[in-house]
Amino acid sequence: MSVLDPKKIYMNLKKKGFIDSTAKSIDHKRLEFYYNEKFVLSTKLSHGKKDIENYLIKQMSFQCKLDKNDFIDLAKCPLSKDDFIQILDQKGLLD
């Protein structure tokens, strides 16, 4: 079972080019990813301090158009921004 620290996920996704959404929520942070100034995807991250477990990891991976293991690598940093962009491009999401 995987668990991820929400603060680390937030910081690492920001390093990969995600930006804070202008849409505000009381219970979630929303991060958006743009490529060549074009919106590609968004994901939600809880404001809570509890570790993020399998169910929410799976939801975030779906929102980020990745399989669970690739999302974990994106969140923990082995998957670079360039690798992430390459995966999105291979899936035809960057047209």
For 4-58, write each residue's pLDDT tens digit. 999 999 999 999 999 999 887 777 889 999 999 999 999 999 777 788 999 999 9
Confidence of residue 1 (pLDDT cuts 50, 70, 90): low
**Separation CA 67–CA 65 (nearest Å):** 7
6-90 topology per CATH: Metal Transport, Frataxin; Chain A (3.30.920)
Which residue, among 55, 58, 59, has the nearest Cα to 69 in the 3D structure?
Answer: 58
64-81 per-position pLDDT tens digit: 999 999 999 999 999 999
In whole angstroms, give the CA distance from residue 51 to residue 37: 32
What's the predicted TM-score (pTM) here?
0.89
